[in-house]
Amino acid sequence: ALAVVQGGCDRALSIWEQWDGWHYVRLVELGYDGYLEDGQHLFLVFFPLYVWLTRLVRLAVGNTLLSGLLVSWLCFAGGCVYFYRLGCLEYGRGTARRALLFLSLFPYAFFFGGMMTESLFFLTPAAGLWHIRRHQWGAAGAWGILAALTRMHGVLLIGAAAAELVQSTRLFALRGRELKQGLRTVLGKVPVLLLPLLGTGGYLLLNWSVDGNPFAFTIHQQHWSQGFCWISQTLWYLTQNALHYANTAVRLELWIPSVLLFLVFFPLMWKARKGHRSMLTLYAFACLVLDYSLSWLLSAGRYLSCALPFFFFAACLTRGRPRLTAVIAAGMAVLFALALSVYLRGGQIM
Q: pLDDT tens digit string along 294-331? A: 999 999 999 999 999 999 999 999 999 999 999 999 99
The confidence band for 4, taking pLDDT boundaries of 50, 70 and 90, is very low
The percent of residues in the chain predicted with pLDDT above 70, rounded, is 97
3-class DSSP assignment, residue 195 = coil
321: alpha, beta or left, given left = phi > 0 and alpha = psi -120 to 50? beta
Confidence of residue 179 (pLDDT cuts 50, 70, 90): confident
Q: Sorting pLDDT into bands at 50, 70 and 90, what band is 208?
A: very high
Quote the CA–CA distance of 30 and 34 in Å, as a whole number. Answer: 5
Helix 64-91 and helix 118-133, axial crossing angle in degrees, nearest 10: 30
pLDDT of residue 341 exceeding 60 = yes
State mean pLDDT over 165-177: 81
**For 220-241, how does the pLDDT look when each residue is reduced to its tens digit (9 = 90+)?**
998 888 888 999 999 999 999 9
- Amino acid at the residue 331: G
Measure the CA–CA gap between 335 and 115, rounded to whole angstroms. Answer: 21
* Half-sphere exposure (Cβ direction) of 349: Cα atoms closer than 13 Å: 24
228 φ, ψ (degrees, to nearest 5): -75, 145
How far apart are alpha carbons 95 and 313 in whole angstroms? 9
Q: How confident is the model at residue 5 (pLDDT cuts 50, 70, 90)?
A: very low
Backbone angles phi, psi at 294, to 5 degrees: -110, 145
Residue 257 has pLDDT above 90, yes or no: yes
The pLDDT of 201-214, averaged and rounded, is 96
* Residues 6 or more apart in contact with residue 5 via CB below 8 angstroms: none
Nearest to 269 by CA among 218, 199, 341, 317: 317
Classify the C-alpha dihedral 65-70-76-79 as positive or negative: negative
